[in-house]
């Protein structure tokens, strides 16, 4: 950066910004870990492709496919501590949910138009409800993370700050990075040294608008320097790169050193949603040129090539994924609508007379009451 | 013995009553957090949080960067982490940059999460006009807030209500928008600190001939009007709505059922203002006994004006008296 010298308050030349700190190193992944990530990615790939088919069959009104982002989603969620971290998804995080062990029927319920946020217990699974507002949850992650610092600092609190803080993982995309709330979130997280990992899936497209028309400078990670925040820009289609980068970021945040950006560069191989038509803004040749190698195939080739797994393991993963997708399909078909009374009952923790009156009237006048 | 049982009464300004309530809330519940722009060392631009950081620690009473969406986003995330946040936006108009977080997030998180994530957030908003402030520092947003599902809206009129309603709002497990009438911050009054009277509306003055419905700074003005009306032999009842959502329809119906006439007074613009909602509720419940349509005396459908013109905009004593006159002189068909 070119530096222009000016006079500081004391009349001396202004000092340069302090260097952005280094992230701690982490050990390489073990073979069982790599196999587990492959198993999860196989499951997510199958479920995601199945969900697109379910939309075409009329089972789901709409779905947002994650095809091509399996390594980014599974890898990042695989790295977290499921006992104390908390994750804030967008509307395209089926791979994150599956990796955390969320019931995928409860996850798909949002796409079935059963319940906007999904049916899983957000507090129990430490995964916030699905967020339809682009960048809507990023500030919540900072608030939750600041709470971890406050809880650790409270006198008499048994939580040991030396043992580490719970870390919030905020998922966002290249499109969301244009939202003002993302700037606010990164700024305030850095000011408060909140334990947050901003996990950016830069998948090349915000519906129809490519990253170069969306992200000035071309990189969300590059903004980290402005916030004094470490940032990693990684190959988001390399599962081990994702797991390792997320682990390094988590370790830094957990130690109370502050937030980190991880920008996983990946590619949205499918449409934005099942209602989208990518042919209007990119060609198949563009896709073939830009998508790069498939993340699932890359990991499979590595496992087989390095002797970390055999064909039987791959076949077993495929079979398990197929059976799981079929079970989820049956579960989704059996969901049925929620009782209409939930429209009223779930608005407040302490319901108002007014809402009870409206509910009573609805019961009287609706055949579903 | 009887004296020992008597509730403690103190003479406090509205701003001091809020400060006392916040301090007691911070003391009673370690999960309560107070934050916003300049609420720490400065004590807030209206000094409502004066001394709280020193007394309760700068971790529980803290300054945020100058970013209202952040203040609301932090509050939501902190509530998800089990805290009981009491954020402040410095002026009413500063709620606009936070509106997406208020509408799309705060009001819906409990619902969206099926009750797994509670939102015991009380957003303090210094509100309304009357202090010759800059543009967007004199807004009356109650109808905007009240229209958002999942929010409750409270508005104190005097030091007692400020103390009591803030305690109730912060102890509630639901999000409450707490609209403080900034022109009344320095008005003093008796505060009974053990008051349990926080629910619904309250009759601020008993009368027989007509009901004035108001909230915030308009309550004191309506009480002045009521005294003046006695000179013409008109006995006015004043209902302080207190909770702008949910609205206490029963209290409105009880008062207007008795007086058979009603005027609703607010600073906000007329069209789609909360006065329309109040008037409709009164009409639904009292149609058979009403002697005249419910009258509204409000601000106008214009941007809130500069200080030189704000007395022309805010319902004046004269305009309220004219409203009363219109109702009293109304003749059918």
CA distance A237 to A293: 8
The angle that helices B68-80 and A138-153 make with each other, rounded to 10 degrees, is 60
- Can you give the pLDDT at residue B1? 42
Q: Quote the tokens at residue A311.
A: 């064909």
Query: Does residue A45 share a domain with residue A93?
Result: yes
How many cross-chain Cβ pairs, A to B, lie less than 8 Å apart?
140
Over pLDDT 70: what percentage of chain A? 92
Please check whether residue A22 lies inside any domain of the structure. no
SS3 state of residue B179:
strand
Please check whether residue B221 lies inside any domain of the structure. yes
Please check whether residue B274 lies inside any domain of the structure. yes
Give the residue carrying structure tokens 């940032």: A231
Q: In chain B, which residue's Cα lies nearest the Cα of A356? A: B246
Per-residue model confidence as pLDDT tens digits over A76-100: 999 999 999 999 999 999 999 999 9
Domain boundary among B146, B172, B192: B192
Query: Does residue A140 share a domain with residue A125?
Result: yes
CA B83 vs. chain centroid, Å, equals: 24
Please check whether residue A26 lies inside any domain of the structure. no
In 3D space, the residue among B100, B145, B150 whose CA is nearest the CA of residue B124 turns out to be B145
Query: Does residue A332 share a domain with residue A344?
Result: no
Could you tell me which residues are beta bridge partners of residue A262? A199, A232
Per-residue model confidence as pLDDT tens digits over A212-232: 999 999 899 999 999 999 999
Peptide bond into B279 cis (omega under 30): no
In this structure, how many other beta carbons lie within 10 angstroms of the beta carbon of residue B82? 13
Residue among A123, A124, A142 minimizing CB distance to B74: A142
Query: Does residue A155 share a domain with residue A50?
Result: yes
- Nearest CA distance, A348 vs chain B (angstrom): 6
The residue annotated as part of the active site, out of B56, B137, B209, B266, is B137
Query: Does residue A350 share a domain with residue A310?
Result: no
Q: In chain A, which residue's Cα lies nearest the Cα of B31? A: A151
Over pLDDT 90: what percentage of chain A? 89
- Can you give the pLDDT at residue B126? 98
CATH classification of the domain holding B229: 3.40.50.920
Residue B209 is among the residues annotated as catalytic for this protein: no
Query: Does residue A352 share a domain with residue A211?
Result: no
Residues of B in contact with A137 (CB under 8 A): 105
Query: Does residue B172 share a domain with residue B219?
Result: no
Q: In chain A, which residue's Cα lies nearest the Cα of B120? A: A349
CATH classification of the domain holding B113: 3.40.50.970
- Can you give the pLDDT at residue A368? 73
A152: domain range? 31-338
Domains in chain A, number = 2
Rounded average pLDDT over A13-29: 78
Per-residue model confidence as pLDDT tens digits over A187-204: 999 999 999 999 999 999
CA distance B180 to B124: 7
**Contact check, Cβ <8 Å, A86/B80:** yes
Kindly give the pairing relationship between strand B188-192 and strand B9-13: antiparallel
Contact yes or no for B252/B282 (Cβ under 8 A): yes
Please check whether residue B1 lies inside any domain of the structure. no
- Nearest CA distance, A240 vs chain B (angstrom): 30
A4 pLDDT higher than 70? no
- Can you give the pLDDT at residue B194? 79
Query: Does residue B122 share a domain with residue B245?
Result: no
φ, ψ for residue B129 (rounded to 5)? -105, -155
Query: Does residue A231 share a domain with residue A356?
Result: no
Query: Does residue A303 share a domain with residue A329?
Result: yes
A156 pLDDT higher than 50? no
Query: Does residue B28 share a domain with residue B144?
Result: yes
The confidence band for A21, taking pLDDT boundaries of 50, 70 and 90, is confident
Per-residue confidence in pLDDT tens, chain B, 333 aa: 444 556 689 999 999 999 999 999 999 999 999 999 999 999 999 999 999 999 999 999 999 999 999 999 999 999 999 999 999 999 999 999 999 999 999 999 999 999 999 999 999 999 999 999 999 999 999 999 999 999 999 999 999 999 999 999 999 999 999 999 999 999 999 999 977 889 999 999 999 999 999 999 999 999 999 999 999 999 999 999 999 999 999 999 999 999 999 999 999 999 999 999 999 999 999 999 999 999 999 999 999 999 999 999 999 999 999 999 999 999 987
Please check whether residue A222 lies inside any domain of the structure. yes
- Can you give the pLDDT at residue B255? 98
A157 pLDDT higher than 50? no
- Can you give the pLDDT at residue B6? 60
The confidence band for A5, taking pLDDT boundaries of 50, 70 and 90, is low
Query: Does residue A308 share a domain with residue A283?
Result: yes
CA distance A290 to A286: 6
Q: Quote the tokens at residue A235.
A: 């190959």
Q: Where would I find the beta strands (DSSP E) of chain A? A: 86-88, 168-173, 196-202, 205-206, 209-210, 231-235, 260-265
CA distance A70 to A54: 19
Query: Does residue B140 share a domain with residue B17?
Result: yes
Residues of A in contact with B115 (CB under 8 A): 346, 349
Q: In chain B, which residue's Cα lies nearest the Cα of A115? A: B112
Give the residue carrying structure tokens 């409502």: B48
Contact yes or no for B171/B159 (Cβ under 8 A): no
Query: Does residue B170 share a domain with residue B33?
Result: yes
Query: Does residue B277 share a domain with residue B234?
Result: yes
A161 pLDDT higher than 60? no
Q: Which of B81, B101, B108 should we substitute to test contact with A (largest number of A Cβ atoms within 10 Å)?
A: B81
Query: Does residue B215 share a domain with residue B153?
Result: no
Residues of B in contact with A361 (CB under 8 A): none
Q: Quote the tokens at residue A193.
A: 């040294």
In 3D space, the residue among A328, A297, A327 whose CA is nearest the CA of residue A314 turns out to be A297
Contact yes or no for B156/B14 (Cβ under 8 A): yes
Per-residue model confidence as pLDDT tens digits over A66-78: 999 999 999 999 9
Rounded average pLDDT over A30-39: 98
What angle is formed at CA A39 by the lines to CA A35 and CA A42, rounded to 5 degrees?
135
Domains in chain B, number = 2
A158 pLDDT higher than 70? no
The angle that helices A239-254 and A31-56 make with each other, rounded to 10 degrees, is 110
Query: Does residue A354 share a domain with residue A302?
Result: no
Please check whether residue A122 lies inside any domain of the structure. yes
In 3D space, the residue among A24, A77, A12 whose CA is nearest the CA of residue A256 turns out to be A24
φ, ψ for residue A3 (rounded to 5)? -115, 130
Please check whether residue B2 lies inside any domain of the structure. no
Least confident of A6-10, A238-242, B323-327: A6-10
**Per-residue DSSP letter, B281:** H
Query: Does residue B253 share a domain with residue B179?
Result: no
Least confident of A19-23, A182-186, A224-228: A19-23
φ, ψ for residue A281 (rounded to 5)? -135, -5
B57: domain range? 9-192
CA distance B275 to B266: 7
């Amino acid at each position: 950066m070119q530096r222009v010298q000016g006079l500081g308050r004391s009349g001396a030349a202004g000092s340069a910004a302090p260097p952005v700190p280094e992230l701690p190193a982490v050990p390489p992944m073990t073979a069982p870990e790599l196999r587990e990530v492959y198993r999860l990615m196989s499951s997510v790939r199958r479920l995601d492709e199945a969900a697109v088919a379910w939309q075409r069959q009329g089972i789901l009104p709409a779905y947002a496919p994650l095809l091509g982002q399996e390594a980014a989603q599974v890898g990042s969620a695989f790295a977290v501590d499921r006992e104390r971290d908390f994750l804030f998804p967008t509307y395209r995080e089926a791979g994150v949910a599956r990796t955390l062990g969320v019931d995928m029927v409860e996850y798909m319920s949002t796409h079935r138009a059963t319940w906007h946020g999904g049916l899983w217990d957000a507090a129990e699974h430490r995964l916030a409800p699905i967020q339809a507002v682009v960048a809507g949850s990023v500030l919540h992650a900072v608030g939750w993370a600041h709470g971890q610092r406050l809880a650790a600092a409270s006198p008499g609190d048994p939580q040991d700050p030396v043992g580490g803080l719970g870390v919030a993982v905020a998922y966002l995309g290249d499109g969301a990075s244009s939202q003002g709330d993302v700037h606010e979130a990164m700024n305030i997280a850095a000011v408060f040294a909140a334990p947050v990992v901003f996990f950016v899936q830069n998948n090349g497209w915000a519906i129809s608008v490519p990253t170069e028309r969306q992200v000035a400078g071309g990189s969300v990670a590059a903004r980290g320097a402005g916030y004094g925040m470490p940032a990693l820009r990684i190959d988001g289609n390399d599962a081990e790169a994702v797991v390792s980068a997320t682990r390094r970021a988590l370790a830094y945040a957990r130690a109370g050193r502050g937030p980190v950006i991880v920008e996983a560069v990946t590619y949205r191989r499918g449409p934005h949603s099942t209602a989208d038509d990518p042919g209007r803004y990119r060609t198949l040749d563009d896709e073939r040129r830009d998508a790069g190698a498939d993340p699932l195939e890359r990991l499979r080739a590595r496992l087989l090539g390095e002797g970390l797994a055999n064909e039987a393991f791959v076949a077993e993963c495929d079979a398990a994924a197929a059976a799981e997708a079929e079970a989820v399909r049956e579960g989704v078909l059996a969901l049925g609508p929620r009782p209409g009374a939930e429209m009223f009952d779930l608005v407040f923790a302490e319901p108002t007379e007014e809402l009870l009156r409206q509910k009573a009237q609805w019961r009287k006048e609706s055949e579903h009451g | 013995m009887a004296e020992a049982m008597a509730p403690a009464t103190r003479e406090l300004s509205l701003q001091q009553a809020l400060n006392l309530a916040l301090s007691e809330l911070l003391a009673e519940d370690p999960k309560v957090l107070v934050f916003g722009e300049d609420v720490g060392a400065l004590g807030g631009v209206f000094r409502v949080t004066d001394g709280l950081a020193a007394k309760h620690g700068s971790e529980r009473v803290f300054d945020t960067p100058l970013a209202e969406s952040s203040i609301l986003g932090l509050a939501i995330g902190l509530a998800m982490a089990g805290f009981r946040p009491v954020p402040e936006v410095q002026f009413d108009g500063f709620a606009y940059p936070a509106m997406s977080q208020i509408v799309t997030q705060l009001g819906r998180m409990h619902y969206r999460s099926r009750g797994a994530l509670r939102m015991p957030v009380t957003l303090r908003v210094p509100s309304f006009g009357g202090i010759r402030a800059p543009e967007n520092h004199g807004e009356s947003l109650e109808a905007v807030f009240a229209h958002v599902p999942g929010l409750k809206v409270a508005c104190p009129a005097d030091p007692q209500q400020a103390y009591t309603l803030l305690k109730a709002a912060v102890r509630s497990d639901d999000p409450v928008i707490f609209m403080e009438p900034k022109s009344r911050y320095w008005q003093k009054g008796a505060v009974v600190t053990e008051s349990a009277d926080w629910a619904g509306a309250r009759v601020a003055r008993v009368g027989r001939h007509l009901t004035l419905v108001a909230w915030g700074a308009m309550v004191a003005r309506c009480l002045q009007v009521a005294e003046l009306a006695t000179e013409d032999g008109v006995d006015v009842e004043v209902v302080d709505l207190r909770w702008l959502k949910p609205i206490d329809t029963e209290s409105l119906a009880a008062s207007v059922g008795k007086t058979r006439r009603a005027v609703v007074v607010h600073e906000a613009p007329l069209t789609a203002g909360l006065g329309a909602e109040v008037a409709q509720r009164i009409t639904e419940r009292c149609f058979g006994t009403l002697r005249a349509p419910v009258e509204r005396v409000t601000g106008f459908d214009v941007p809130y004006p500069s200080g030189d013109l704000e007395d022309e905009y805010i319902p004046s004593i004269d305009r309220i008296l004219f409203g009363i006159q219109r109702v009293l002189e109304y003749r059918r068909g």
